[in-house]
Amino acid sequence: MSNVLHCRQLTKSYFQGKAAIETKVLHSLDLTVKSGELLAIVGSSGCGKSTFLHIAGALDSPTEGEVWINDINIHKLTDKERAHFRNQHIGFIYQFHHLMMEFSAEENVAMPLLIKGTAPKIALKEAQEMLSQVGLSHRFEHRPGELSGGERQRVAIARALVTKPSLVLADEPTGNLDFDTAEQIYQLLRELNKTVNTSFVIVTHDLTLAAKMDRQLRLDHGQLKPMDNRTVETLVDKSAEPVVKPIEKSEKSYV
Protein backbone atom coordinates (compact mmCIF):
# COMPACT_ATOMS: atom_id res chain seq x y z
CA MET A 1 0.00 0.00 0.00
CA SER A 2 1.48 3.34 -1.07
CA ASN A 3 1.86 6.42 1.11
CA VAL A 4 -0.30 9.44 0.35
CA LEU A 5 1.00 11.82 3.04
CA HIS A 6 4.41 11.88 4.64
CA CYS A 7 5.49 14.57 7.12
CA ARG A 8 9.14 14.70 8.15
CA GLN A 9 10.39 16.54 11.23
CA LEU A 10 7.60 19.11 10.95
CA THR A 11 8.06 22.15 13.19
CA LYS A 12 5.93 25.29 13.42
CA SER A 13 6.91 28.24 15.61
CA TYR A 14 5.38 31.65 16.15
CA PHE A 15 7.40 34.62 17.33
CA GLN A 16 5.83 37.35 19.46
CA GLY A 17 6.89 40.83 20.51
CA LYS A 18 10.08 42.78 20.03
CA ALA A 19 11.99 40.09 21.88
CA ALA A 20 10.72 37.55 19.32
CA ILE A 21 9.64 35.10 22.00
CA GLU A 22 9.20 31.72 20.35
CA THR A 23 6.07 29.62 20.82
CA LYS A 24 6.59 26.19 19.28
CA VAL A 25 3.25 24.62 18.27
CA LEU A 26 4.59 21.61 16.36
CA HIS A 27 7.92 20.05 17.23
CA SER A 28 9.75 17.57 14.95
CA LEU A 29 6.47 15.89 14.03
CA ASP A 30 6.56 12.77 11.85
CA LEU A 31 3.55 11.15 10.17
CA THR A 32 2.85 8.73 7.35
CA VAL A 33 -0.66 8.13 6.00
CA LYS A 34 -1.27 5.23 3.64
CA SER A 35 -3.58 5.20 0.65
CA GLY A 36 -7.18 4.61 1.71
CA GLU A 37 -6.45 5.01 5.44
CA LEU A 38 -8.87 6.64 7.90
CA LEU A 39 -6.82 8.42 10.57
CA ALA A 40 -8.10 10.34 13.60
CA ILE A 41 -6.01 12.93 15.44
CA VAL A 42 -7.26 13.99 18.87
CA GLY A 43 -5.91 16.50 21.34
CA SER A 44 -6.84 19.33 23.66
CA SER A 45 -8.00 22.70 22.34
CA GLY A 46 -5.08 24.84 21.24
CA CYS A 47 -2.63 21.95 20.91
CA GLY A 48 -2.01 22.62 17.22
CA LYS A 49 -4.40 20.26 15.42
CA SER A 50 -5.73 22.89 13.02
CA THR A 51 -2.22 24.29 12.51
CA PHE A 52 -1.08 20.83 11.48
CA LEU A 53 -3.96 20.47 9.00
CA HIS A 54 -3.20 23.85 7.45
CA ILE A 55 0.44 22.88 6.91
CA ALA A 56 -0.43 19.39 5.64
CA GLY A 57 -2.93 20.95 3.26
CA ALA A 58 -0.47 23.52 1.86
CA LEU A 59 -2.44 26.41 3.37
CA ASP A 60 0.45 27.39 5.65
CA SER A 61 4.19 26.75 5.67
CA PRO A 62 6.24 24.99 8.35
CA THR A 63 9.11 26.69 10.13
CA GLU A 64 11.14 23.53 9.50
CA GLY A 65 10.48 20.13 7.98
CA GLU A 66 8.84 18.71 4.87
CA VAL A 67 5.39 17.62 3.72
CA TRP A 68 5.19 15.12 0.88
CA ILE A 69 1.88 14.27 -0.83
CA ASN A 70 1.92 11.74 -3.64
CA ASP A 71 5.74 11.98 -3.68
CA ILE A 72 5.67 15.77 -4.14
CA ASN A 73 7.34 18.07 -1.60
CA ILE A 74 4.47 20.57 -1.53
CA HIS A 75 6.34 23.37 0.21
CA LYS A 76 8.95 23.44 -2.53
CA LEU A 77 6.23 24.52 -4.97
CA THR A 78 5.48 28.14 -5.83
CA ASP A 79 2.27 29.69 -4.49
CA LYS A 80 0.57 29.17 -7.85
CA GLU A 81 1.77 25.57 -8.08
CA ARG A 82 0.56 24.86 -4.53
CA ALA A 83 -2.90 26.27 -5.29
CA HIS A 84 -3.11 24.05 -8.37
CA PHE A 85 -1.88 21.05 -6.38
CA ARG A 86 -4.50 21.59 -3.65
CA ASN A 87 -7.24 21.74 -6.24
CA GLN A 88 -6.06 18.51 -7.86
CA HIS A 89 -5.09 16.34 -4.89
CA ILE A 90 -6.53 17.61 -1.57
CA GLY A 91 -10.08 17.99 -0.26
CA PHE A 92 -11.04 19.99 2.83
CA ILE A 93 -13.96 19.57 5.23
CA TYR A 94 -14.49 22.00 8.10
CA GLN A 95 -16.67 22.12 11.22
CA PHE A 96 -18.54 25.02 9.63
CA HIS A 97 -19.46 24.11 6.08
CA HIS A 98 -18.17 27.36 4.47
CA LEU A 99 -20.65 27.03 1.62
CA MET A 100 -21.39 30.07 -0.51
CA MET A 101 -24.88 31.05 0.55
CA GLU A 102 -25.86 32.68 -2.76
CA PHE A 103 -25.19 29.50 -4.76
CA SER A 104 -27.16 26.26 -4.94
CA ALA A 105 -25.88 22.94 -3.63
CA GLU A 106 -24.84 21.77 -7.10
CA GLU A 107 -23.10 25.08 -7.81
CA ASN A 108 -21.17 24.89 -4.53
CA VAL A 109 -20.01 21.36 -5.28
CA ALA A 110 -19.12 22.23 -8.87
CA MET A 111 -16.91 25.16 -7.83
CA PRO A 112 -13.61 23.20 -7.43
CA LEU A 113 -14.16 21.69 -10.89
CA LEU A 114 -14.83 25.11 -12.42
CA ILE A 115 -11.64 26.44 -10.81
CA LYS A 116 -9.87 23.42 -12.27
CA GLY A 117 -11.06 24.45 -15.73
CA THR A 118 -13.79 21.86 -16.26
CA ALA A 119 -16.55 22.91 -18.66
CA PRO A 120 -19.62 24.17 -16.73
CA LYS A 121 -22.02 21.50 -18.05
CA ILE A 122 -19.61 18.71 -17.15
CA ALA A 123 -18.86 20.27 -13.76
CA LEU A 124 -22.57 20.46 -12.87
CA LYS A 125 -23.12 16.88 -14.03
CA GLU A 126 -20.26 15.61 -11.85
CA ALA A 127 -21.49 17.73 -8.95
CA GLN A 128 -24.94 16.17 -9.25
CA GLU A 129 -23.42 12.69 -9.31
CA MET A 130 -21.44 13.47 -6.15
CA LEU A 131 -24.48 14.94 -4.39
CA SER A 132 -26.40 11.78 -5.27
CA GLN A 133 -23.65 9.72 -3.66
CA VAL A 134 -24.10 11.63 -0.40
CA GLY A 135 -27.89 11.22 -0.51
CA LEU A 136 -28.87 14.67 -1.76
CA SER A 137 -30.25 13.96 -5.24
CA HIS A 138 -33.40 15.86 -4.22
CA ARG A 139 -31.47 18.99 -3.16
CA PHE A 140 -29.50 19.98 -6.28
CA GLU A 141 -31.03 23.45 -6.62
CA HIS A 142 -31.48 24.24 -2.93
CA ARG A 143 -29.31 26.97 -1.41
CA PRO A 144 -27.57 26.43 1.96
CA GLY A 145 -30.21 28.48 3.77
CA GLU A 146 -32.79 25.92 2.67
CA LEU A 147 -30.83 22.93 4.00
CA SER A 148 -30.49 21.40 7.45
CA GLY A 149 -27.15 21.34 9.27
CA GLY A 150 -26.54 17.73 8.31
CA GLU A 151 -27.43 18.39 4.68
CA ARG A 152 -25.04 21.33 4.53
CA GLN A 153 -22.25 19.14 5.84
CA ARG A 154 -23.08 16.53 3.19
CA VAL A 155 -22.77 19.23 0.53
CA ALA A 156 -19.39 20.20 2.01
CA ILE A 157 -18.27 16.57 1.87
CA ALA A 158 -19.42 16.29 -1.76
CA ARG A 159 -17.47 19.45 -2.58
CA ALA A 160 -14.33 18.02 -0.95
CA LEU A 161 -14.57 14.80 -2.95
CA VAL A 162 -15.80 15.99 -6.34
CA THR A 163 -12.26 16.34 -7.74
CA LYS A 164 -11.48 12.78 -6.59
CA PRO A 165 -8.58 13.82 -4.33
CA SER A 166 -6.19 11.28 -2.89
CA LEU A 167 -6.33 12.99 0.53
CA VAL A 168 -9.12 14.68 2.48
CA LEU A 169 -8.30 16.77 5.56
CA ALA A 170 -11.23 17.23 7.93
CA ASP A 171 -11.35 19.64 10.87
CA GLU A 172 -14.10 18.66 13.35
CA PRO A 173 -16.48 17.40 10.61
CA THR A 174 -19.13 16.36 13.16
CA GLY A 175 -18.45 19.05 15.75
CA ASN A 176 -21.57 21.06 14.95
CA LEU A 177 -23.99 18.15 14.63
CA ASP A 178 -26.27 16.20 16.94
CA PHE A 179 -25.50 12.55 17.74
CA ASP A 180 -27.71 10.93 15.08
CA THR A 181 -26.53 13.26 12.31
CA ALA A 182 -22.90 12.81 13.38
CA GLU A 183 -23.32 9.04 13.08
CA GLN A 184 -24.79 9.44 9.59
CA ILE A 185 -21.82 11.58 8.57
CA TYR A 186 -19.41 8.94 9.90
CA GLN A 187 -21.17 6.20 7.94
CA LEU A 188 -21.01 8.39 4.85
CA LEU A 189 -17.27 9.02 5.26
CA ARG A 190 -16.63 5.31 5.73
CA GLU A 191 -18.67 4.43 2.64
CA LEU A 192 -16.96 7.06 0.50
CA ASN A 193 -13.57 5.94 1.80
CA LYS A 194 -14.26 2.44 0.49
CA THR A 195 -15.79 3.64 -2.78
CA VAL A 196 -13.14 6.14 -3.88
CA ASN A 197 -10.18 4.86 -1.79
CA THR A 198 -9.48 8.38 -0.54
CA SER A 199 -7.38 8.79 2.62
CA PHE A 200 -8.98 10.83 5.42
CA VAL A 201 -7.10 12.66 8.17
CA ILE A 202 -9.68 13.83 10.71
CA VAL A 203 -8.89 16.06 13.67
CA THR A 204 -11.65 15.93 16.24
CA HIS A 205 -12.79 16.27 19.84
CA ASP A 206 -15.46 13.65 19.11
CA LEU A 207 -14.01 10.58 20.82
CA THR A 208 -16.77 8.38 19.40
CA LEU A 209 -15.79 9.33 15.85
CA ALA A 210 -12.08 8.92 16.58
CA ALA A 211 -12.56 5.42 17.98
CA LYS A 212 -14.14 4.26 14.71
CA MET A 213 -11.20 5.25 12.53
CA ASP A 214 -8.56 2.79 11.33
CA ARG A 215 -5.92 4.48 13.50
CA GLN A 216 -5.87 7.06 16.29
CA LEU A 217 -3.09 9.47 17.24
CA ARG A 218 -2.91 12.10 19.95
CA LEU A 219 -1.24 15.46 19.37
CA ASP A 220 0.63 16.24 22.56
CA HIS A 221 3.35 18.86 23.09
CA GLY A 222 3.73 19.32 19.36
CA GLN A 223 4.20 15.65 18.48
CA LEU A 224 1.88 12.87 17.35
CA LYS A 225 1.80 9.88 19.68
CA PRO A 226 0.09 6.52 19.10
CA MET A 227 -2.81 5.64 21.35
CA ASP A 228 -2.53 2.25 23.04
CA ASN A 229 -5.22 -0.43 22.81
CA ARG A 230 -6.56 0.33 26.28
CA THR A 231 -7.08 3.97 25.35
CA VAL A 232 -8.85 3.03 22.11
CA GLU A 233 -11.08 0.58 23.99
CA THR A 234 -11.96 3.37 26.41
CA LEU A 235 -13.00 5.54 23.49
CA VAL A 236 -15.22 2.77 22.16
CA ASP A 237 -16.81 2.37 25.60
CA LYS A 238 -17.66 6.07 25.52
CA SER A 239 -19.54 5.75 22.23
CA ALA A 240 -22.81 6.46 23.97
CA GLU A 241 -21.47 9.82 25.15
CA PRO A 242 -20.43 11.71 21.99
CA VAL A 243 -18.68 15.02 22.34
CA VAL A 244 -20.88 16.98 19.92
CA LYS A 245 -22.75 20.24 19.97
CA PRO A 246 -26.52 20.52 19.50
CA ILE A 247 -27.58 21.06 15.92
CA GLU A 248 -29.77 23.99 16.98
CA LYS A 249 -26.68 26.12 17.53
CA SER A 250 -25.40 25.56 14.01
CA GLU A 251 -28.83 26.26 12.54
CA LYS A 252 -28.96 29.65 14.26
CA SER A 253 -25.49 30.59 13.08
CA TYR A 254 -26.21 29.96 9.41
CA VAL A 255 -29.73 31.25 8.86
The 3 state secondary structure assigned to the chain is CCEEEEEEEEEEEEEECCCCEEEEEEEEEEEEEECCCEEEEECCCCCCHHHHHHHHCCCCCCCEEEEEECCEEHHHCCHHHHHHHHHHHEEEECCCCCCCCCCCHHHHHHHHHHHHCCCHHHHHHHHHHHHHHCCCCCCCCCCHHHCCHHHHHHHHHHHHHCCCCCEEEEECCCCCCCHHHHHHHHHHHHHHHHHHCCEEEEECCCHHHHHCCCEEEEEECCEEEECCHHHHHHHHHHHHCCCCCCHHHHHHHHC
pLDDT confidence of residue 216:
93
pLDDT 10s digits, 215-240: 999 998 888 988 865 666 665 555 44
User: Residue 196 contacts by C-beta under 8 Å, 6 or more apart in sequence?
Assistant: 161, 164
**Which of residues 86 and 230 earns the better pLDDT score?**
86
d(CA 45, CA 128): 36
Instruction: Provide the pLDDT confidence category of residue 248 given band limits of 50, 70 and 90.
Output: very low
Domains assigned to the chain? 37-47+79-254 (3.40.50.300)
Across all residues in the chain, what is the average pLDDT? 83
- Give percent of the chain above pLDDT 70: 87
Instruction: Provide the pLDDT confidence category of residue 169 given band limits of 50, 70 and 90.
Output: very high
Q: Is the pLDDT of residue 54 over 60?
A: yes
**Mean per-residue pLDDT for 164-191?**
81
Question: pTM (2 decimals)?
Answer: 0.81
d(CA 135, CA 189): 12
CB 144 within 8 A of CB 102: no
pLDDT confidence of residue 249:
39
